[in-house]
Amino acid sequence: MTEPLQPHVVGTDVERVDAWAKVTGRARYAYEQPVPEPAHLQVVRSTVARGRVTEVDARAATALDGVLTVLTPFNAPRLRTGHDAELEVLQSDTVWFRGQIVAAVVAETPEVARQAADLVRVEIEQRPHDVAFSADRPDLYKPEVVNPNHPTDTVTGDPDTAFDAASRAVDATYTTAMNHNNPMEPHTTVAAWHGDDDVVLTLYDSTQGVHPLRDAMAAVFGLDPEQVRVVAPYVGGGFGSKGRPHAHDVIAALAAQRVEGRAVKFAVTRQQMFSFVGYRTPTVQHVRLSADVDGRLTGISNDVVELTSRFKEFAEQTGLPARTMYAAEHRRTTHRLAALDLPVPSWMRAPGECPGMFAPEVAMDELAEACGLDPVELRLRNEPERDPDTGLPYSSRNLVACLTEGARRFGWESRPRLPRARRDGDWWVGTGVASSTYPVLRRPGSAAASVRYRDGRYEVGIGAADLGTGAWTVLTQIAADALDVRLDEVDVRIGDTTLPRAPVAGGSSGTANWGSAVVAAARRFREKYGADPADGDEYTGSDECGRKRFAAAAYGAQFAEAHVNVHTGEVRVPRLLGVFAVGRVLNPRTARSQLVGGMTMGLSMALHETSVLDERLGFVVNHDLAEYHIATCADVPSVEAHWIDEHDPHLGPLGSKGIGEIGIVGTAAAIANAVHHATGIRVRDLPITNDVVFEPNLTQGVIR
């Protein structure tokens, strides 16, 4: 087992090392990278949801001064196909979804590019489309795996028989809406080709993973990975949408091929982000819980229906939380997909766990009511001894501590037992709770780091990405402790494929994987060169691989207070409180920021966020931040994030579990449960709108 890191600056409230660069404007994001004489790209998108491009008339566009070229399906450079259908931009005349890129203009200025794009006329032979998502479609199918490679279905025992024999049971259907990511910095790519240099293609990109993007681009352009360089030192948010390459990366590189060595800049607009950079699939989840009279679960099932694109499959792992969260002898999870004429879904913060905890945690609230138990007590009674899915022992599992500490901090003991028992003027007041979990996705050997001593300082390099999460800072802290030097003696370099390989910043796994590699490289540097290295001494290496012997996950308990207006049905959430078990907290300042941000995003999911799909036209109509509503400061008067002291010796040298996504998981369920407690109306569909609190839920369930 790898020796744990002895912390000195790790665990302290260190200010962000990149803060001054950002607030003074010196931190260069992708679009701001200085390149000589850049050209600018604008895309033309399909106005139909399915069809075939028959003609592209670019004469009016090319007549404008400053237009350099127009790319179409008929003249675009050829790519290697068969790797990823999403990246095969302008390689055929087939239109798979509305908003698909069907042409692109390259011009001297972004203004001319936009004007010219409006002048391009694309003729499309329209065909009937199908974007109607429902759980009773006859053509639902079973994917081979769900993201990234989990079994599609699982079954243990006989959950249906357990349900029929149960003294207490819940049988209900829950839905979550289609959601779209909207990071503050839109997706951006600057692409440049270099002729016969060793590196023939450079991308300055807003990405969560420079090496995964490099590999994908090399594959579609028929290059060796070493011939592609990706640079992303600063990224203005990602939340999953920048974790995978998308069409904008390819179209920028295609355009740069056509303009004689000039760099091409492409910044995706806010509205375009609703077309081709991914989104969270809507879900329909049929949940069944069975229990004895004391509330101990005998059966759990979650049968999930979600959508995917007809031209490329993505199956979100929504059923996974039901496999692992609570003890029950009989269990089942299934996933079925509807293939529609829509863009392909992708990652969004806590994919699978976020929607997949909403349904079971609201169902647990319903079961608590049926059993006459406090919702916290019901969860405590169903604590498993081992992971129910794998049978492995836990590396650490402190959900009980999170629930009990959260209840104490929240003042749960004063909660009225019955719903609709408290009113404050024109507002019904209620409180709710939900559990949360997110897996530890540490992959030993997946990252490497370099340590170099030069001019009296230690330079640590790794191809990590900082999305605003604090990677610059935390990796500096880790390196300082691993080298046993002061923080100000370390310079960290990240976000470049010329640095040692690093996996994507996703799945709350970045810090654990990158940090473990930094520790390993630093220790071996010391072993090789001692405490007094010479100028230029350098070592590059990765941490050791190991066999998975424990089930490892972060846990949390979310508490919410909801106020519902008795006249209008308006829902407000003046207070959120979360307590989390996330292993060692490496920097309290950045950790609290991540947890509070996740909880706020969960509030946004609960009350506001829904991508409204016009089935007649096949596209999202509220495709900007004027109409796609998100939480603002007025929505979050009080958000508290706390954590318990948790020591887990099985998580590598850092002992950390990841915090980027656990904050969002469970928040929406806690709010829905609080709304029920306030009004007596059970809400099973997200987002929670004003009208639903005046009527019984249209999705009726069986509760006994």
Query: Using CA of residue 179, residue 183, residue 186, residue 187, what is the dihedral sign?
Result: negative
Given a cut of 60, whether residue 252 has pLDDT beyond it is yes
| Residue 524 to residue 506: CA distance in whole angstroms | 27
Of the listed ranges 356-360, 395-399, 633-637, the least confidently predicted one is 633-637
Per DSSP bridges, beta strands 457-461 and 448-454 are antiparallel
Pairing state between β 188-193 and 201-205 = antiparallel
Average pLDDT of span 64-75: 98
For 375, list phi and psi in degrees, rounded to 5.
-60, -35
The answer to whether 556 touches 663, Cβ cutoff 8 Å, is: yes
Other C-beta atoms lying within 10 Å of the C-beta of residue 618: 22
pLDDT at 697 over 60: no
Average pLDDT, the chain: 96
Model pLDDT for residues 144-185, shown as the tens digit of each residue: 999 999 999 999 999 999 999 999 999 999 999 999 999 999
pLDDT at position 546 is 62
Which pLDDT band, with edges at 50, 70 and 90, does 696 fall under? low
Highest mean pLDDT among 192-196, 339-343, 635-639: 339-343
CA distance 593 to 137: 42
Both tokens assigned to 579: 């307590």
Q: Mean of the pLDDT values across residues 329-346?
A: 98
- Is beta strand 394-396 parallel, antiparallel or unpaired with respect to 145-146? unpaired
447 class by beta-carbon count within 10 Å (0-12 exposed, 13-18 middle, 19+ buried): buried
In the prediction, which pLDDT does 197 show? 77
Report pLDDT for 410: 98
For residues 221 and 175, give the distance between their C-alpha atoms in angstroms, rounded to a whole number: 40
Length of the chain: 704
Distance between CA atoms of 610 and 434, rounded to whole angstroms?
22
- Report the C-alpha gap between 320 and 464 in whole angstroms: 28
| Strands 228-231 vs 201-205: parallel, antiparallel or unpaired | parallel
Would the pLDDT of 458 be above 90?
yes
Catalytic (active-site) positions: 661
Rounded Cα gap, residues 681 and 697, in angstroms: 7
> What are the extents of the domains in the chain?
19-29+445-542, 33-128+184-237+242-276, 145-179+279-441+550-703
pTM of the model: 0.97
Angle (CA) 244 248 254, round 5°: 120
Alpha-carbon span 505 to 226, nearest angstrom: 21
Mean local confidence (pLDDT), 501-513: 95
Mean pLDDT computed over 128-134 = 98
Whether residue 700 has pLDDT greater than 70: no
How far is it, in rounded angstroms, from Cα 525 to Cα 539? Answer: 6
Q: Which residue has the tokens 């330079």?
A: 459
| Concatenated DSSP letters of 248-313 | HHHHHHHHHHTTTT--EEEE--TTTHHHHS--BPPEEEEEEEEE-TT--EEEEEEEEEEEEESSS-
HEC profile of 50-78? CEEEEEEECHHHHCCCCEEEEECCCCCCC
Whether the Cβ atoms of residue 40 and residue 106 lie closer than 8 Å to each other: yes
Average pLDDT on 670-690 reads 96
Beta bridge partners of 70: 105
Q: Tokens 């790209």 correspond to what residue?
A: 41
- Taking only the tens place, the pLDDT of each residue in 470-502 is 999 999 999 999 999 999 999 999 999 999 999
Handedness of CA 20, 448, 592, 484 (dihedral sign): negative
Classified as helix, coil or strand, 166 is coil
Buried b / exposed e over 673-703, threshold 16 CB at 10 Å, is bbbbbbbebbbbbbbbeeebbeeebeeebeb
Give the single-character DSSP code of 165: H
Contact assessment for residue 306 and residue 316, using Cβ atoms and an 8 Å cutoff? yes
**Rounded distance between C-alpha atoms, residue 484 and residue 253, angstroms:** 43
pLDDT interval class at 443 (50, 70, 90): confident
pLDDT at 260: 82
Q: Read out DSSP for 209-241? A: -HHHHHHHHHHHHT--GGGEEEE-S--S--TTT
CATH number corresponding to 145-179+279-441+550-703: 3.30.365.10
Dihedral angle, C-alpha 503, 506, 510, 511, nearest 10 °? 180
In contact, 669 and 434? CB cutoff 8 Å: yes
pLDDT of residue 157: 97
Per-residue model confidence (pLDDT) at position 60:
98
Query: Under CATH, to which class is 19-29+445-542 assigned?
Result: alpha beta
The CA distance from 667 to 602, in Å, is 5
Taking alpha carbons only, the member of 341, 279, 345, 346 closest to residue 97 is 341
DSSP-derived pairing of the beta strands 330-340 and 297-309:
parallel
Tens of pLDDT, residues 373-392: 999 999 999 999 999 999 99
For tokens 């030993």, name the residue: 444
The closest of 305, 303, 302 to 336, measured between CA atoms, is: 305
pLDDT over 80 (residue 25): yes
Closest alpha carbon to 362 in 301, 298, 287: 287
Residue type, 162: A
543 has a pLDDT exceeding 90:
no
Q: Is the pLDDT of residue 1 over 80?
A: no
Pairing of strands 613-614, 619-620: antiparallel
Which of 378, 394, 503 lies closest to 439, judged by CA?
Answer: 394
3-state DSSP assignment of residue 473: helix
Q: Would 33-128+184-237+242-276 and 145-179+279-441+550-703 be classified into the same CATH topology?
A: no
Answer yes or no: CATH 3.40.50.9100 is held by domain 33-128+184-237+242-276. no
Residue 442: predicted pLDDT: 86
- Cis ω for the linkage preceding 419 (within 30 of 0): no
Q: For residues 307 and 704, what is the distance between their CA atoms, to the nearest angstrom?
A: 31
Encoding tokens for residue 327? 């003890």
Average pLDDT rounded to a whole number, residues 225-235: 97
Residue-by-residue DSSP string for 131-147: ----TT-TT-B--SEET
Tens digit of each residue's pLDDT (9 = 90 or more) over 550-577: 999 999 999 999 999 999 999 999 999 9
Asked whether residue 699 carries a pLDDT value surpassing 60, the answer given is no
Work out the angle at residue 33's Cα, subtended by the Cα atoms of residues 32 and 38, and round it to the nearest 5 degrees.
90
Judge residue 540's burial from the number of C-beta atoms within 10 Å of its C-beta, 0-12 exposed, 13-18 middle, 19 or more buried: middle
Neighbours of 385 (CB within 10 A): 9
